[in-house]
Amino acid sequence: MSRAPVTDWTTDFDVMDERYLLDPFPIWDDLRKTCPIAHTERRRGAWMLTTYDDVTAAAHDVATFSSLEVGVIGAEEDPDPEDIILEYGLPPISADAPLHTWTRRLLLPWFSHHRVEQYEVVTRDLCRQLLKGFVPAGRADAASDYSQQIPVRIVAGILGVPAELSDTFTGWVRDVLEFADDQERARRGGQGIFDYLLGELAARKESPRDDLMSSLVLEKHDGAPIDDSIILGIAGLVLIAGIDTTWSSIGSSLWHLATHPDDCARLVAEPKLMDTAVEELLRAYSPVTMARIVTEDTEFRGCPMQKGDKVLMNFPAANRDPKAFDQPDRVVLDRLQNRHVAFGSGIHRCAGSNLARMELRVALEEWLREIPTFRLEDGARTTWAGGQVRGPRSLPVVFP
């Protein structure tokens, strides 16, 4: 859907604007200096927070900033109640307490540090297999041939659904997140996920297995089995939030290394920098912006917000705030003090953050082991998706 280009970012921003998708960093810098809480009437209106202090303060004020609607690109009109597929959305991400609290506790052990350690071998094998497929060619699309292929397969394993369907899952998730501007496409993607998971849920009720949805079938809350729509919402969340986000982070990190040969050479020469490098790449290229809904008329940092207003929590912009980070626009691979909020802040901290960190680290380690030097392909175009999740969708690189 084409819309008029933005000329005033303070009062008429659009996170799907071409310029914003390609290079949002100077826009955030300007906003932080001139109007750190921007507003737009587009897409039914929204505020956008761009400083570290504002974003983290709002993330902690869950009484004022509800998570009942977290989509950055929302529906253009209120859906017919009969068309709502999942009564509770995708808890815990789309829930406030108390639903958030107990659904999150069901989910967290699947992504605990110890559990994620068990997924590392599979992830490494997967990366090696993918690399084997294109290393001899001397060129690859680092986004679609590599980054995009990794998280979806690990998440499929956790959900106990076939990795062979990865492309289908990826397609649905892109429909929901990346192409949300096309309302019919977003709806179709959501319906695809729901219909598929509904079948999987029925199969697990018949014979539970060792996977996330089976565990939810067997769980109880307040002595009663968990409502189907909540099980489907949690499984849908794992699929939607576990794929596009980490894939974007891996892709952005590879884009950085392809375009900053000094950083790439340093990381190859000093592999012990990997831990700080992963945190720094997460900070500098944070993929995820989330929304909140204002619960009551309020004044936030001088801005008159009304009940029902949408507020964009720009975690990526917060992570480039010079008040919180020294030289925020420089990627410093050995940055020691890095209190970034790429995974959010407060009670909605990304439940999959341990998994995402592991996947990003392993994906980079394996790539650099096989391909220590690489650059963007001459004449080829890198394309970026953005809005809710920012990252490269096409990233042609060569390593002759």
340 binds another protein (CB under 8 A): yes
| Contacting residue, 21, 198, 332, 347, with another protein by CB under 8 A | 347
95 binds another protein (CB under 8 A): no
345 binds another protein (CB under 8 A): yes
By 3-state DSSP, what share of the chain in percent is helix, strand and coil, each rounded to 5? 55, 10, 35
53 binds another protein (CB under 8 A): yes
Strands (E), the chain: 37-40, 46-49, 65-66, 139-141, 220-221, 224-225, 290-294, 298-300, 303-305, 310-313, 375-376, 383-385, 391-394, 396-398
348's tokens: 């909605």
Residue of 87, 54, 69 whose CA lies nearest to 232: 87
108 binds another protein (CB under 8 A): yes
CB of 145 to another protein, least distance (A): 30
What is the rounded CA–CA span in Å between residue 124 and residue 120? Answer: 6
Among the candidate windows 71-79, 340-348, 370-378, 387-395, which touches another protein by CB under 8 A? 340-348
| Contacting residue, 203, 353, 365, 398, with another protein by CB under 8 A | 353
CB of 116 to another protein, least distance (A): 10
Under a CB-based contact definition with an 8 Å cutoff, are residues 143 and 250 in contact?
A: no
What is the rounded CA–CA span in Å between residue 141 and residue 394? Answer: 6
185 binds another protein (CB under 8 A): no
272 binds another protein (CB under 8 A): no
What is the rounded CA–CA span in Å between residue 237 and residue 93? Answer: 8
CB of 313 to another protein, least distance (A): 14
The contacts of residue 285 (CB under 8 Å, 6+ apart) are: 249, 252, 253, 255, 256, 316, 390, 391
341 binds another protein (CB under 8 A): yes
209 binds another protein (CB under 8 A): no
What distance, in Å, lies between the first and last C-alpha atoms of the chain? Answer: 39
Count residues binding another protein (CB under 8 A): 33
| Contacting residue, 98, 114, 206, 272, with another protein by CB under 8 A | 114
Under a CB-based contact definition with an 8 Å cutoff, are residues 70 and 177 in contact?
A: no
Q: If you search the block for the tokens 């489907």, which residue do you land on? A: 232
Among the candidate windows 25-33, 42-50, 104-112, 223-231, which touches another protein by CB under 8 A? 104-112
In whole angstroms, what separates CA 212 from the centre of its chain? 20
388 binds another protein (CB under 8 A): no
CB-nearer residue toward another protein: 29 or 181: 29
CB-nearer residue toward another protein: 45 or 109: 109
52 binds another protein (CB under 8 A): yes
CB-nearer residue toward another protein: 252 or 345: 345
Torsion of CA 162, 168, 171, 177, to 10 degrees: -40
393 binds another protein (CB under 8 A): no
Residue 394 pairs in a beta bridge with: 383
168 binds another protein (CB under 8 A): no
Residues 302-331 interacting with another protein (rule: CB under 8 A): 321, 323-326
CB of 353 to another protein, least distance (A): 7
Beta strand pairing call for 375-376 and 65-66: unpaired
57 binds another protein (CB under 8 A): yes
Query: What's phi and psi for 58, nearest 5 deg?
Result: -65, -40
Among the candidate windows 50-58, 225-233, 247-255, 375-383, which touches another protein by CB under 8 A? 50-58
256 binds another protein (CB under 8 A): no
CB of 64 to another protein, least distance (A): 13
Residue 141 pairs in a beta bridge with: 396
What is the rounded CA–CA span in Å between residue 388 and residue 71? Answer: 7
The contact set with another protein (CB under 8 A) reads 51-53, 56-57, 60, 105, 108-109, 112-115, 275, 279, 321, 323-326, 336-341, 343, 345-347, 349, 353-354
